[in-house]
């Protein structure tokens, strides 16, 4: 069960917010070999590695139009309706993020503005296997399409028979993604980064994955290919006072713990009685979970902390910077302005974290491992570049020219100064 800590002093907090250490350096050499193999051999390497790691013998790396067309008939009406509702909610929320840029005249004759331009090509990595994450495909595919990215490539590992889960294929069709590549692991990341005969090279890669995918994405920083954000094990922090429902809190903690043994869950409360009640609920609910082993291991690496007040709990949470933050407290409205570091926040007893994971409309691709101190989750902005424009009239150059000349001269950059001076002479002669 969770490790219990009662009333730790502020000096102890930095140690308590540390995540379990992960050393991935020993994976880098093998991943570098995979990168080189895919660079040199292209599609042949992807087929070879699909056989080696997925047990799949592939004739075609791309899902065929027939496979995409038949996927819908393989899903229940209930699941299709759930996917459509989720699609609608995600689209509605992300469509509101579009930036309407207005030109600004910073001084007479000097006009500046900014424009959002879609990234030319993006790659989406969606884990498959026993838990095909079609929800993540919606989270990434909807904003990619809203942004207007001309090319969207999807990579997902095949099953042993060479198939892709129909929920992923149905969702891809819904999103208008026709290029579905049957490739997983570091080799899929390499294919999207460098390109093969069947897989176009992309400018930015999105999506979660195992430790090999995580390290492969991090290694791309040296190649000029961008990634969505640093990834790590999933995590949740729950702040609960005596108004919280212990059964709800336990369910939220377990919903995150079942992701994997390396997930971390944290409970903060100002009531030792609440902590005790939550622990009893954790024991009872854990026994009923199919993924009990994963959840139990994650709980053993997690903590329950009793603090003096809601204010202290918010301060601790800001230091921890959780991926998911749940406020199971009365009057949560009064503390919202004090939350400065979190990926996504869930308010009140009836806002479970799984709502954000699936269907409320917010994005579930979020910063972990404390990166919420500096990173945002995936949004419409993740799929666009912001390009600035400026137009200066002859009169505008006369207004701003002296300022530029003085600053350029002070920095010893004479050519910068001359680029203005030569124009001002021309303006004066007109």
User: Residues within the annotated binding site for substrate?
Assistant: 234, 256, 259, 324, 357, 411, 416
Annotated binding site for Zn(2+): 256, 259, 357, 416
Query: 378 near 228, Cβ under 8 Å?
Result: yes
> To the nearest 5 percent, what fractions of the chain are helix, strand and coil?
50, 15, 35
Active centre residues (catalytic): 323-324
Q: Tell me the DSSP string of 340-388.
A: -S-SEEEESTT--HHHHHHTSSS------TTGGGT-PPP-GGGGEEEEE
Q: Is 12 helix (H, G, I), strand (E, B) or coil?
A: helix
* Helix/strand number for the chain, H first, E second: 16, 14
How many C-beta neighbours within 10 Å does residue 225 have?
19
Cβ contacts of 32 within 8 Å, gap of 6 or more: 219
Residue 384, phi then psi, degrees to nearest 5: -130, 160
User: What is the enclosing helix (H) or strand (E) of 91?
Assistant: helix 77-95
d(CA 177, CA 183): 16
d(CA 276, CA 245): 12
User: What is the enclosing helix (H) or strand (E) of 52?
Assistant: none
Token output for 391: 């137009």
Annotated binding site for NAD(+): 125, 187, 210
**Biggest CA pair distance of the chain:** 87
Q: Tell me the DSSP string of 228-273.
A: S------EEEEEE-TTS-HHHHHHHHHHHHTT-TT-EEEEEES-HH
Residue 430 buriedness (CB in 10 A; 0-12 / 13-18 / 19+): exposed
Query: 133 near 172, Cβ under 8 Å?
Result: no
d(CA 100, CA 377): 21
The sheet with strand 104-107 has its strands ordered as: 104-107, 110-118, 384-392
d(CA 157, CA 143): 23
């Amino acid at each position: 069960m969770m490790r219990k800590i009662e009333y730790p002093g502020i000096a102890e907090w930095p140690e308590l917010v540390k995540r379990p250490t992960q050393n991935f350096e020993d994976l880098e050499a093998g991943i570098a070999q995979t990168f080189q193999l895919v660079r040199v051999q292209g599609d042949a390497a992807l087929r070879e590695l699909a056989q080696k790691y997925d047990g799949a013998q592939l004739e075609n790396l791309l899902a065929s139009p027939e496979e995409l067309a038949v996927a819908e008939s393989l899903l229940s009406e209930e699941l299709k309706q759930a996917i459509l509702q989720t699609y609608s909610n995600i689209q509605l929320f992300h469509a509101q993020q579009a930036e309407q840029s207005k030109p600004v005249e910073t001084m007479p004759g000097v006009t500046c503005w900014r424009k959002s331009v879609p990234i030319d090509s993006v790659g989406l990595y969606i884990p498959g296997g026993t838990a095909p994450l079609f929800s993540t495909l919606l989270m990434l595919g909807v904003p990619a399409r809203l942004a207007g990215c001309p090319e969207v490539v999807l990579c997902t590992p095949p099953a042993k028979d060479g198939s892709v889960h129909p929920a992923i294929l149905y969702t891809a069709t819904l999103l208008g993604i026709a290029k579905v590549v049957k490739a997983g692991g570091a080799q899929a990341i390499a294919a999207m980064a460098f390109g093969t005969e069947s897989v176009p090279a992309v400018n930015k890669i999105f999506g979660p994955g195992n430790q090999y995918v995580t390290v492969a994405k991090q290694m791309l920083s040296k190649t000029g290919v961008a990634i969505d954000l640093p990834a790590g094990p999933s995590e949740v922090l729950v702040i609960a006072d005596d108004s919280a429902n212990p059964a709800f809190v336990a369910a939220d903690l377990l919903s995150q713990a079942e992701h994997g043994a390396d997930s971390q869950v944290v409970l903060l409360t100002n009531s030792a009685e609440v902590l005790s009640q939550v622990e009893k609920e954790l024991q009872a609910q854990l026994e009923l979970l199919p993924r009990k082993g994963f959840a139990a291991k994650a709980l053993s690496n997690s903590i329950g902390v009793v603090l003096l007040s809601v204010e202290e709990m918010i301060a601790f949470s800001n230091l921890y910077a959780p991926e998911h933050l749940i406020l199971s407290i009365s009057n949560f409205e009064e503390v919202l302005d004090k939350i400065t570091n979190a990926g996504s926040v869930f308010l009140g007893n009836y806002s479970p974290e799984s709502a954000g994971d699936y269907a409320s409309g917010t994005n579930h691709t979020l910063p972990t491992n404390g990166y919420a101190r500096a990173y945002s989750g995936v949004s419409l902005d993740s799929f666009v570049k912001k390009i600035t424009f400026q137009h200066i009239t002859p009169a505008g150059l006369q207004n701003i020219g002296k300022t530029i000349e003085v600053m350029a001269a002070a920095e010893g950059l004479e050519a910068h100064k001359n680029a203005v001076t030569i124009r001002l002479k021309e303006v004066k002669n007109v």
